[in-house]
């Protein structure tokens, strides 16, 4: 049995943002193995976030972020359950990180459900045209197109993009981690990104 020290707990807390007791329990459960403890907390966080997923989010923040010397701007609405959490520094930091990511990565939609049917159909027909040139059987073509569509949707949806500050983590993981840490359901409602000179004739 590994003796779990305060330094180990603090280190794990710095890595995950989880509470002190959760970190202590995770280290005890995994025999002091930090990597396993991170995974243990991540699974616990996903489980606790899933439990909160149906809870109503009617409070939150609308935040603005101006980037790159005034050339890019982001407006974002992120919702939570209570006004208390909306004023919480951790929640504000999450909203700021999301704004920063949107400015850098330029997603077009929050999640797959937000992508209009006509956009999906147009992309699918383009991919199908490209794929037909491979002269493969129809069922193989369908699978290739499905794969291309999956990648396209992952590229344009905010929650599926790799987080700019930590590409090993998706934006959805960042939100899930915040739900587990803060203890309330959190949803990204909408955003708009402006870039100087875009759509100018």
Please give the residue that has the higher pLDDT: either 13 or 76: 76
More confident residue, 131 or 55: 131
Predicted model pTM: 0.71
Domain boundary assignment for the chain:
6-52, 59-110+157-195, 116-156
Q: 116-156 maps to which CATH number? A: 1.10.286
Check whether 94 has a pLDDT greater than 60: yes
Residue 68, sorted as left (phi over 0), alpha (psi -120 to 50) or beta, turns out to be: left
Please indicate whether the domains covering 6-52 and 59-110+157-195 agree at the CATH topology level. no
According to the model, what pLDDT value does residue 62 have? 94
Higher pLDDT, residue 92 or 181? 92
| Per-residue pLDDT, 68 | 73
Confidence of residue 17 (pLDDT cuts 50, 70, 90): low
How far apart (Å, rounded) are the C-alpha atoms in residues 24 and 10? Answer: 9
Compute the mean pLDDT over every residue in the chain, rounded to the nearest whole number. 86
CATH number of 6-52: 1.10.8.10
Band (96; pLDDT cuts 50, 70, 90): very high
pLDDT reading at 116 higher than 90: yes
Helix H or strand E encompassing 75: strand 72-80
SS3 123: helix
* pLDDT digit string, tens, across residues 28-59: 888 888 888 878 877 776 555 556 666 677 78
Higher-confidence residue of 43 and 136: namely 136
pLDDT score recorded for residue 46:
55
Contact indicator for 18, 26 with CB cutoff of 8 Å: yes
Question: What pLDDT, on the 0 to 100 scale, is given for residue 51?
Answer: 62
The CATH number given to 59-110+157-195 is 3.30.479.20
**Total residue count of the chain as it appears in this document:** 201
Q: What is the pLDDT of residues 164-177, one digit of tens each?
A: 999 989 999 999 88
Segment 187-199 shows an average pLDDT of 89
The pLDDT of residue 53: 62
Q: What is the DSSP letter of 67?
A: E
């Amino acid at each position: 049995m590994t003796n779990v020290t305060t330094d180990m707990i603090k280190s794990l807390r710095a890595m995950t943002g989880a509470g002190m007791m959760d970190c202590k329990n995770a280290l005890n459960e995994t025999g002091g193995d930090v990597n396993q403890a991170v995974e243990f907390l991540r699974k616990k966080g996903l489980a606790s976030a899933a439990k909160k997923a149906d809870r109503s989010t009617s409070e939150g923040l609308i935040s603005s972020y101006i980037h790159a010397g005034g050339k890019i701007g982001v407006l974002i609405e992120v919702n939570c359950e209570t006004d208390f959490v909306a004023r919480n520094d951790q929640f504000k930091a999450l909203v700021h990180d999301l704004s920063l990511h949107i400015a850098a990565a330029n997603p077009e939609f929050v999640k797959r459900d937000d992508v209009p049917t006509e956009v999906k159909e147009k992309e699918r027909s383009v991919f199908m045209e490209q794929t037909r040139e491979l002269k493969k059987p129809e069922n193989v073509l369908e699978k290739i197109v499905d794969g291309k569509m999956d990648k396209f949707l992952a590229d344009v949806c905010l929650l599926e993009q790799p987080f700019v500050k930590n590409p090993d983590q998706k934006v959805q993981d960042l939100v899930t981690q915040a739900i587990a840490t803060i203890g309330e359901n959190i949803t990204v409602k909408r955003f708009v990104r402006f870039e100087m000179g875009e759509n100018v004739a």
